[in-house]
Amino acid sequence: MEIAVAHAAERYPSLNMRHISPHSVRHSTAMHMLQSGVAFSVIALWLGHESMTTTHRYVEADLTMKQNALARLQEPAMEPTRYQPTDR
């Protein structure tokens, strides 16, 4: 791992100031896969997760995906009405 980070730091010197662990590489790769539209099940298999719940944590961590989902929401086409019961 240290060799890979040292090689990458030649191109991106800021990596010398960071602690890069195998977990951070694994997490970054999973997040990039998720943002690229790779299915949860494929990411779960790739990461070796036994449960989709574990993979779902990546979705919860990605604020950009949350913002994009909210941006796709539209206002309701009809005006909201208030229920008016009959006199009975």
CA pair distance 55, 81, nearest whole angstrom: 41
Asked if residue 24 lies in contact with residue 39, where contact means CB atoms within 8 angstroms, the answer is no
Res. 5: pLDDT tops 80 = yes
In this predicted structure, the answer to whether residue 19 has a pLDDT above a threshold of 80 is yes
User: Please, what is the average pLDDT of the chain?
Assistant: 82
The pLDDT value given to residue 22 = 86
Q: Which two tokens stand for residue 84?
A: 């008016």
Predicted TM-score of the model (pTM) = 0.56
DSSP states of 18-72 as a string? S---HHHHHHHHHHHHHHTT--HHHHHHHHT-S-HHHHHHHHHH-HHHHHHHHHT
Q: For 86, which DSSP code?
A: -
